């Protein structure tokens, strides 16, 4: 591997985790068709698909509903909310806002 290629690979991999995922044959075949057409690694195709999925309006709505349901099931303790507000005021009070 040439030095320039090594540097590009290191930059691409920084801030990423590797994982092993099992996929059905038809999904792998579809990924491979896209990969060949776009001339990118499989991981790039999967990253793009996940980005689209995770930012889809449906996914965002489901996450918001789950978040709200969690607060309804276990409401925030008013004492905790007051403690958070005091801590934030202390930290933000030390900031120079000019």
Q: Tell me what pLDDT residue 7 has.
A: 62
Q: Tell me what pLDDT residue 30 has.
A: 96
Closest C-alpha among 73, 69, 49, 51 to residue 61: 69
Closest C-alpha among 45, 8, 40 to residue 23: 45
Domain ranges for the chain:
43-81
Q: Tell me what pLDDT residue 87 has.
A: 87
What is the Cα–Cα distance from 11 to 15, expressed in whole angstroms?
A: 9
Over the chain (98 residues), the average pLDDT of each successive run of 10 is: 62 77 96 95 94 89 89 84 86 70
User: Token pair of 45, please?
Assistant: 């195709």
* Cα–chain center distance at 8: 22
Q: Tell me what pLDDT residue 74 has.
A: 84
């Amino acid at each position: 591997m040439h030095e320039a290629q090594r540097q590009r690979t290191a930059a691409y991999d920084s801030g990423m985790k590797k994982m092993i995922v099992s996929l059905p044959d038809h999904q792998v075949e579809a990924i491979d068709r896209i990969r060949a057409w776009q001339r990118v690694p499989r991981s790039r195709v999967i990253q793009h698909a996940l980005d689209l999925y995770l930012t889809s309006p449906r996914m965002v709505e489901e996450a918001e509903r789950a978040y709200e349901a969690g607060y309804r099931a276990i409401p925030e303790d008013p004492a905790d909310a007051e403690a958070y507000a005091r801590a934030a005021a202390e930290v933000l009070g030390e900031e120079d806002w000019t």
